[in-house]
Structure 1
Amino acid sequence: MSQHLESEATFEGHFIGFLYRQWLIHRKPIPKGTTISGQTAIVTGSNSGLGFEAARQLLQLGLAHLVMGVRSQARGNAAADKLRKEFPDSTISVWLVDMESYDSITAFAKKCETLPRIDIAILNAGLRCDNFTVVEATGHEKTFQVNYLSTILLAILLLPVLKSKKLSSSSLFPPRLSIVTSDTSYWADPLEAGPVLPQFDIPEEFKSMRSYPRSKLLQLYFISKLGEHIKADDVIVNASNPGFCRGTQFGDGAVKSFISALTFWIFQNLNGRTVENGASAVVDGVVTKGKESHGSYVSDWGIRPYPKVVYTKEGQEIRERVWEETLEELNFAGASRIIEEMKR
């Protein structure tokens, strides 16, 4: 549905649009009587922040089994213990997944095949690096690697698993997979002509608050295209935005001077949502949104337009290059084959 909202993209990408979202769009409660009793959900990056709160809200809705995908076993266990005390009737598992390691991601997806059912997958793990850092195993810049390449790889690997776990009685609510994105994509610096992915690995052009929005823009390019290749009846895929939140680590270290840091702190506390409200927007994307959200950008408890650039001729050309280059990058794991098999 986002593909039909071009007329709203300019406002959404304006600073006034940002303030409107943060101040005037209020949290919409989950419809009374909604339950996900008996269901299983995977939430990555769920030991703290938005991921932890999203997991908690799923459990409040009756989730039977939560799989927490985390990088640290100790931190994951500590977070799980808090949730177990609050939700003693639910099963909570802590599984390791290192988003800097393709081997770890592949092993995590393989382990997911052992689950009797999977109804929801929220791919929340992400980061923002202050300095240009290369992931040794892949040779890519870390923000780009974790937020985009690794997240998309995990999404692709989970698609056939989710489809295979679909219950025959769940035709109205197929398995749902949502990538947690950001409305900073509205203000991402334009991508240059030519190959797209190599543009993220140039040290001289790296800026923390440049790489992060661009990595989120790539997510939207890919998800919008993925929705055209995957049937919503098999797996609903979308990208969900929690909005600008206070009480998270976003922005820490990005500003160096005391005055700049103080200014950002004031701005964040004046305009930021609570973590609870931000997480509820993500949960909304997998609990209340259905097939109408397939391939779309879900934000502020509704379906919103992509960034304006996505609708342009140049943006569509970039989207095709992003799609082709990403599949080529991930074909070591059979990415193209998986997409083709999902289409059959």
Structure 2
Amino acid sequence: MANSTLYFALAGTVFVIGLTYGIPLFFAEYFPWQSLWKQRHGRPTVTTNSYEGRTVLITGANGAFGSRAAKLFAHRDVETLVLVDVKDCGGVKQEIEAELSDMGKAKPNILVWQADLMSFAGCQDLGKKARDLKNLDHVLMTAGILAFNRRESPEGWETFNFLSGALISLLLLPLLKSSPTNPSPPVLTFVTTFGIYPSSFTMSVPKNGSYLKRLSNNKEGMEQAHQYGRSKGLLLYFARELAARVSATTAQDKGMRRVTINSADPGSAWTPLTNPNQAKLIPRLIMNFGSREPEICATALVNGVSVSEEGHGKIMQDFDTTPYPPFMERKSGRIAQERVWQETRSELEGKVPEVKSIYEMLD
């Protein structure tokens, strides 16, 4: 009897400890509910009053977030607005011009560039067009695809959300230059997502072979369902490494202008990108827990790409910064980050020769 009592007492203690520490640790790793709840009720406003004289480039400008971000810039006196998407953004341009005309406001110079950013060739085409810009103050990269069935880029990669984003950032990096009216360094902002957290348990680094290929050669089912989050996890690794290398390069005076590299988490919203989740119970519940209006998400992104240099290397969320996911802060996460950087370099240098000089500058 005494042994049974002791057993149940120990079992009860273990259970209480598990509830007290295990559940918070689980949520910290895979479901940042406090952050999601905060975003759901967050109502950020654009913190920059005017973008007069500046040039802003937005990828994914035909999407729910990108198009709304474009309008926010246009209503705040931006001089040149570059709308980039695989789809024609002519409709977005017309909407912006009509809104400004109705309000008696001046219209910015709006450039519409159609490019297939799923392919390396499309990214290269964007880089070539951007060379003609006199200045480039803000680059907001909202382009991305969510697919529940495997889709490959022309180069054979599933993780095209990642590789295209990495390539575009490298091609635009030397072109970032503040306009005379901009008192801060230019900003390049990657878009991240809370979906990285639940995807992280499928992102372990293999002992042998390519990390990128392991994540690209995913099977249908759980891995494919997490592919968007996995690709954004890779992009967050890349963004953090790029920010660190830009800082080191600038400090060594290698000729690179001061540039702010960061990521921004817009929160979640029901949009054409996420609507497929309506048919899936768990994703739908998670989305409903944290979702807010797309206009609010776009506002958070505009603030993210408008920060001062104090935002370099950080993740912006509404008005504040937010920590990197726990798995990225561990030693294993730093090792994974180095693998991502080196493997990405090998792939891009082999197929996009013009990035070689950029990588060499960042060494």
CA distance in 1 between counterparts of 2:261 and 2:328 reads 18
AA matched with 2:78 = L
Structure 1 or 2, whichever has the larger Rg, is 2
- For structure 2, the 5+ residue unaligned runs are 1-24, 102-106, 251-256
1:148 aligns with 2:169: no
Q: Is 1:21–2:34 an aligned residue pair?
A: no
> Does residue 304 of structure 2 align to residue 285 of structure 1?
yes
TM superposition shift of 1:324: 0.4
Give the distance between the partners of 1:227 and 1:37, measured in 2 at CA: 27
Question: What is the DSSP-based 3-state SS (H/G/I as helix, E as strand, rest coil) of the residue aligned with 2:135?
Answer: coil
Partner of residue 4, structure 2: none
- 1:177-208 Cα deviation digits (max 9, x unpaired): 11112121122223232331011232425644
Residues 78-121 of structure 1, C-alpha deviations (whole Å, 9 max, x = no match): 12111111235211111011112211211111111111111111
Cα separation, 1, equivalents of 2:146 and 2:129: 28
Q: Is the 8 A contact 2:277 2:284 kept in 1?
A: no
> Residue by residue, what CA displacement relative to the aligned partner does 1:47-74 show, whole Å, maximum 9, x if unpaired?
130110011111122111111001123x
Distance in 1 of aligned mates of 2:190 and 2:122: 18
Residue matched to 1:56:
71
Q: When the two structures are superposed, what TM-score results if normalisation uses the length of structure 2?
A: 0.80
1:121 paired residue among 119, 139, 142: 139
CA distance in 2, matches of 1:64, 1:239: 24
Q: Any idea what the Cα deviations from partners look like across 1:219-255, whole Å, max 9, x if unmatched?
A: 1111111111114762111111110112x12333346
SS of equivalent to 1:295: coil
- State the distance in 2 between where 1:281 and 1:95 align: 24
CA contact (8 A) 2:142 2:191 kept: yes
Instruction: Call closer, same or farther: CA 1:9–1:284 in 2, change over 3 Å.
Output: farther
Describe the superposition over 1:113-169 as per-residue Cα deviations: whole angstroms up to 9, x where unpaired: 11111111111110111201222x20111xx11x1001110010000011xx34467
* Structure 1: distance between partners of 2:275 and 2:246: 37
Check conservation: 2:54, 2:178, Cα contact below 8 A: no
1 or 2 for the larger relative contact order (CA 8 Å, sep ≥6)? 1
C-alpha offsets along residues 4-58 of structure 1, whole Å, 9 cap, x if unaligned? Answer: xxxx99758544324432344x223234x72111111100111130110011111
Q: May I ask how many residue pairs the two structures share in their alignment? A: 319
Provide the TM-score with structure 1 as the length reference. Answer: 0.85
Aligned runs of 1:296-307 on 2, under 5 Å?
296-307=314-325
1:38 paired residue number: 53
Aligned mates of 2:246, 2:59 — CA distance in 1: 22
Q: Tell me the residue number matched to 1:250.
A: 273
Identity in percent: 28
Q: Is the 8 A contact 1:37 1:64 kept in 2?
A: yes
Aligned positions of 1:68-217 closer than 5 A: 68-73=83-88, 76-88=89-101, 89-135=107-153, 137-141=154-158, 144-145=159-160, 147-162=161-176, 165-167=177-179, 170=182, 172-188=183-199, 189=201, 190-194=203-207, 195-204=210-219, 207-217=223-233
Report if the CA contact (8 A) 1:297-1:304 is conserved: yes
Q: CA 1:266/1:176 → structure 2, altered by over 3 Å: closer, same or farther? A: same
Where in structure 1 do 4 or more consecutive aligned residues deviate above 6 Å?
A: none
Structure 1 residues 9 and 300, CA gap change in structure 2 (3 angstroms): farther
